[in-house]
Copies of this chain bind each other. A is one copy, B any other.
């Protein structure tokens, strides 16, 4: 394979088929991207840094899946606010001799941006000894309507979409040596040939970990309901993410073991997978009890994702902390998740 110059590589990226948005008046190629906002909408901006070793391992992830995941993780932050993604900025650093690898990452990113109709609007390339990526996504939302982490109120129910816990189990499977082949067949540890095809639980877990789908449509439904009081996407596990809502809203939360256990049984996962598994990119949200049926029905009607499940409720007591309601007991829940510096 030929090595491209920096300019040629940028040209190669530009020439791919990316979604187009009229918001991006001028994309790649000048000092800045020129972006057209409208009066009735607010902009959302989120940024992520992904470093080999800390955020991903090239031993267990294909370059295409990595590109997909970088896109999905950032688009998920837009989903959590009920927004629509409108422009993606992608920067990368990698060793000079790894261009082939990088191009496959771009292919994966292209796929998820296509799915989410989000144009690539800029970025920056660099050579360097380690592999790392930085992504910034812009989105928009009707003015004043963004779903925030800060509006949860006592007595609100706590809900989560889809299949929390799947991604964490997928990661465990990767660590035990399971892989997917190009057609998503399951390659067992020590083998190099897929022996199992869909439908299969292990394959589902792996796909959820490798190619999560941001809950953009669910986020928009929640926002349009006008009754959702707070929302966050689950990247660090439900316990840690719910604590973020509690801290931002100045409230406490009670997770109900009975509901969690029912969900765990339905999903065939363990309770701790649901509570502590990271990188699910589901939406965790709160709303008043009387609105529960309407909102859950709206989510189910959409049909593109498993409906949401009630798992607890907000309370005025112990602000910033979680309790697990187990029968009559309220056990304090430890929420030590991943900390980059401890």
Give chain A's interface residues, CB within 8 Å of chain B: 3-7, 9, 25-26, 29-39, 41-55, 77-78, 80-81, 83, 87, 89, 91-93, 96, 99, 121-130, 132, 134, 136, 138-139, 141, 143, 146, 148-150, 232-233, 248, 339-342
Report Cα–Cα, A129/B35, bound state, in Å.
Answer: 35
Task: List B contacts of A34 (CB < 8 A).
Answer: 42-44, 81, 141, 146
Contact of A126 among B30, B55, B233, B342 (CB under 8 A): B55
Task: List B contacts of A96 (CB < 8 A).
Answer: 340-341
A31 touches B340 (CB 8 A): no
Report Cα–Cα, A295/B4, bound state, in Å.
Answer: 40
Contact of A123 among B47, B130, B342 (CB under 8 A): B47
Instruction: Please judge, given known A-B contacts A33-B46, A45-B138, A87-B45, whether A4 and B341 are in contact too, CB under 8 Å.
Output: yes
Task: List B contacts of A45 (CB < 8 A).
Answer: 32-33, 35, 87, 89, 121-122, 136, 138
Report Cα–Cα, A340/B123, bound state, in Å.
Answer: 14
Task: List B contacts of A41 (CB < 8 A).
Answer: 37
B44 touches A127 (CB 8 A): no
Task: List B contacts of A9 (CB < 8 A).
Answer: 341
Task: List B contacts of A44 (CB < 8 A).
Answer: 31-35
In the assembled complex, the CB of A334 is this many whole angstroms from the nearest CB of chain B, namely 15
Task: List B contacts of A143 (CB < 8 A).
Answer: 36
A93 touches B6 (CB 8 A): no
A340 touches B6 (CB 8 A): yes
In the assembled complex, the CB of A26 is this many whole angstroms from the nearest CB of chain B, namely 7
Interface contacts beyond A96-B340, A99-B341: sample of 16 additional A-B pairs, CB < 8 Å, sorted by A: A4-B341, A5-B341, A6-B340, A9-B341, A32-B44, A32-B139, A33-B44, A33-B46, A47-B89, A47-B134, A49-B91, A49-B125, A51-B128, A54-B126, A55-B126, A125-B340
Report Cα–Cα, A141/B149, bound state, in Å.
Answer: 31
Task: List B contacts of A49 (CB < 8 A).
Answer: 91-93, 124-126, 132, 134
